[in-house]
A and B are shown apart, each in its own frame.
Chain A
Amino acid sequence: MSSHNSTYNPTNPVEKWLDDRLPLVRFGKEHLLDYPTPKNLNYWWTGGAILTFMLGVQIVTGIVLAMHYTPQIGLAFDSVEHIRRDINGGRIIQATHAVGASMFFAAVYLHIFRGLYFGSYKAPREILWILGVIIFLLMMATAFMGYVLPWGQMSFWAAAVITNIFAAIPVVGDPILQLLRGGFAVDNPTLNRFFSLHYLLPFIIAAVVGLHIWALHVPGNNNPIGVEVKSERDTVPFHPFYTMKDFFAIVVFCIPFAWFVFYAPDILGHPDNYIQANPLVTPPHIVPEWYFLPFYAILRAIDFNFILDSKLLGVIFFGGSILILFFLPWLDTSKVRSGTFRPAFKWFYWVFVANFILLTWYGAQTPDMKIIGSFTVADTSKLSVLYYFGYFIVILPLLGRFEKPRPLPNSISEAVLPASATH
């Protein structure tokens, strides 16, 4: 499908001249307009367009904010307030950027879980998936550093706690810690380098998104039934069919986005970040932003020594919880892509989703909070960590061997047509 024939025929001499030298228009026509897309994609497949839109929103609002922000520990907090108070439309731009981070992660989680359900990571889309995991990692780094910039109490203490995680790595831990902080403690050099990197990383994300789309356009889209495109009958051109469908999805996505931006811009944040950073006062309860909570819960759940020190073990599980996604294409042994045709997989998948939500909730609680009887968050969250890793390491490899999938339709058209007869 990557080698579909180009239908671009430059008509006037200027277009011809350009096409012989830099076939930009041809490229755009092939990849943005004519790109053959399976005709059975549902709304879970609008995530890519929504995420591209969100990246754009974050870059544009971020560039405007950077025009007014001062990365210096004595001035950073007040400069963010200056943006909110004195810049024309500043409160809305700042709120869009802050809420935008949450909406970006909400969309990326839906996108990832879509891929997990429909087996979008399976051959021949392993590279596509791996690039996605890299984007996710870059997003986490960018969001974390961005959260530090307002230099509130949560900013400062999040920076202290998260950079400190690296100190647990043997031998290189301390040098890494000092490199991240630009010194022994979180201070002005930390803020400066975080600002610099926070401005840089989104453009690297944009580049990896380019690769991600390239890697998508080589094998073509996966689709809800997971059966590869067999003929032209199975596809529609990307434009106008999916451009308009994606556009519709983006507008709908903007409704809750605007709801938070205009009516409750701080509801997803923490009030402590309205207190200027103070290295001498530790907040009673340090919590990361909601989108880091599942991984934070995994980090905290490892509070015991097992061969290794608990601190290092926690870091291994914390890092491993994301790194394991890189190996997912080879851990899942089932040949069937779509969860729709995998009766047993479905159950494990939805338990995995519920477990992930539960981990999010655990991450926001204090570890000593009682759950059932005398069992605390620290105890029960270990079960969730076990299931999280068990899903990838035990369930998916074994399920492919023992599960009997339902019969697959012969082609996308065959799956689509009977249903459309009832329309």
Chain B
Amino acid sequence: MIKITTILAAGLMALGLAVPAMAQEHETIHIERQPWSFGGIFGKYDEHQLQRGFQVFREVCASCHSARLMAFRNLSEEGGPGFSEEQVKALAAEYTVNDPEAEGGTRKALPSDRWPGTGQSDADLAAAFGMVPPDLSVMAKARSISSPFPQWVFNYFTTYSEGGPDYIHALLMGYEETPPEGVEVPEGKFYNHVFPGHAIGMPPPLADGQVAYAGEDGAAAPAEMLTAEQYSTDVSAFLMWMAEPHLNAQKAAGFRVLAFLIVFAVLMWFVKQRLWRKVH
């Protein structure tokens, strides 16, 4: 019979063979994990953070990056930034979209429209940055950070899925005005110690005080909220929501499903035991 101890022994043997290799893993950039509100099995987006993040996205990112998969209506849907339908309607009306059926080929955007893009042509953007800045719709899922052994084993148990926002947050804070000695940064590129290859086409996008968050009752937000660090955290959270808009509902459903499965498994265990008592 296969014994648990034998399985463990086999596992340990495999580990034993692999561990010396782990010690010599490639040098990787260390990226600090952030305490996201949406991490873990009970994680949920913070509405206020998503609203702030949306403001940063809209005022900063969206001038060069598109987000073709997000619709205005998403902004008022459950589990998102929690804007009201009126707010979204008013917001959409500030943008114009192309519509061949409308008079003159353009009309005001409706909540059902997708995010209209940057308003600049790809050619202009490519000329300015050397490439068309990537679409941000699912950016938070298209990037991640590397987890050295044994951390990646724990990831399965902690459900760590926030590598994207961790990477984006680190990237936005990873600019250095003077590159380390001996590093040549090509013309039109910027030094960023997080970006692979370190030479990034995106100029440092965030600076302290750049986005004027409104506090309660329309008063200005306290100064400690108006830092590049805060902006980068908020916009990373927003990008995560944009990439995974149903995360709240998914995690809530997961809790109910798992609770059901565990209770069901216990009941099935008793059914099985009772049946088999006769056989033994």
Kindly list chain B residues whose C-beta atoms are within 8 Å of the C-beta of A369.
21, 24-26
Q: B137 at interface (Cβ–Cβ under 8 A)?
A: yes
A372 to B22, CA, bound (A): 10
Kindly list chain A residues whose C-beta atoms are within 8 Å of the C-beta of B144.
271
Asked if A274 and B10 sit within 8 Å, CB to CB, the answer is no
**Interface class of chain B by DSSP:** helix
Asked if A264 and B161 sit within 8 Å, CB to CB, the answer is yes
Q: A303 at interface (Cβ–Cβ under 8 A)?
A: no
Q: A247-B268, A252-B265 are in contact. Are A261 and B254 (CB under 8 A)?
A: yes
Q: A271-B142, A354-B14 are in contact. Are A264 and B156 (CB under 8 A)?
A: yes
Q: Mark B245-268, 1 if CB is under 8 A from A, else 0.
A: 110001101110110011011001
Asked if B1 and A351 sit within 8 Å, CB to CB, the answer is no
A254 to B258, CA, bound (A): 9
Asked if B272 and A245 sit within 8 Å, CB to CB, the answer is yes
- Selected contact of A271 from candidates B143, B196, B254, B275, CB within 8 Å: B143
Q: Give chain B nearest CB distance to A295 CB in angstroms.
A: 17
- Selected contact of A361 from candidates B9, B10, B18, B257, CB within 8 Å: B18
- Selected contact of B24 from candidates A252, A261, A371, CB within 8 Å: A371
Asked if B161 and A267 sit within 8 Å, CB to CB, the answer is yes
A248 to B262, CA, bound (A): 11
Q: Give chain A nearest CB distance to B226 CB in angstroms.
A: 31
A105 to B6, CA, bound (A): 22
Q: Which residue of B lies closest to A338 (CB)?
A: B1
Q: Which residue of B lies closest to A371 (CB)?
A: B21
A117 to B20, CA, bound (A): 29
Q: B165 at interface (Cβ–Cβ under 8 A)?
A: no
Asked if B14 and A244 sit within 8 Å, CB to CB, the answer is no
Asked if B142 and A274 sit within 8 Å, CB to CB, the answer is yes
Kindly list chain A residues whose C-beta atoms are within 8 Å of the C-beta of B21.
361, 365, 369-372, 377
Q: B219 at interface (Cβ–Cβ under 8 A)?
A: no
Total residue contacts A-B, CB cutoff 8 A: 140
Q: Mark B5-19, 1 if CB is under 8 A from A, else 0.
A: 010011101100110
Interface residues of B in 136-172 (CB under 8 A from A): 137-139, 141-144, 155-156, 159-161, 163-164
Kindly list chain A residues whose C-beta atoms are within 8 Å of the C-beta of B261.
251, 254-255, 258
Kindly list chain A residues whose C-beta atoms are within 8 Å of the C-beta of B268.
244, 247-248, 251
Asked if A262 and B196 sit within 8 Å, CB to CB, the answer is no
Q: B50 at interface (Cβ–Cβ under 8 A)?
A: no
Asked if A240 and B163 sit within 8 Å, CB to CB, the answer is no
Q: B31 at interface (Cβ–Cβ under 8 A)?
A: no
- Selected contact of A266 from candidates B17, B161, B245, CB within 8 Å: B161
Q: A85-B245, A117-B2, A271-B144 are in contact. Are A259 and B258 (CB under 8 A)?
A: yes
- Selected contact of A85 from candidates B18, B69, B265, CB within 8 Å: B69
- Selected contact of A350 from candidates B6, B26, B159, B254, CB within 8 Å: B6
Kindly list chain A residues whose C-beta atoms are within 8 Å of the C-beta of B142.
271-272, 274-275
Question: Interface on A for B, CB 8 Å cutoff?
Answer: 39, 42, 44, 78, 81, 84-85, 91-92, 95, 117, 224, 236, 240-241, 244-245, 247-248, 251-252, 254-255, 258-267, 271-272, 274-275, 284, 340, 346, 350-351, 353-354, 357-358, 361, 365-366, 369-372, 377, 416, 420, 423
* 6 extra A-B contacts, CB within 8 A, seeds A44-B2, A255-B265, A351-B13: A84-B246, A117-B2, A255-B262, A258-B261, A361-B18, A366-B26
Task: Show 27 residue pairs from A and B whose CB-CB distance is below 8 angstroms, ordered by the A residue.
Answer: A81-B69, A91-B244, A91-B246, A92-B250, A92-B253, A240-B275, A244-B268, A244-B271, A244-B272, A247-B268, A248-B269, A248-B271, A258-B254, A258-B261, A259-B254, A259-B258, A271-B142, A346-B6, A350-B9, A351-B13, A353-B14, A357-B11, A361-B14, A369-B26, A370-B24, A377-B21, A423-B280
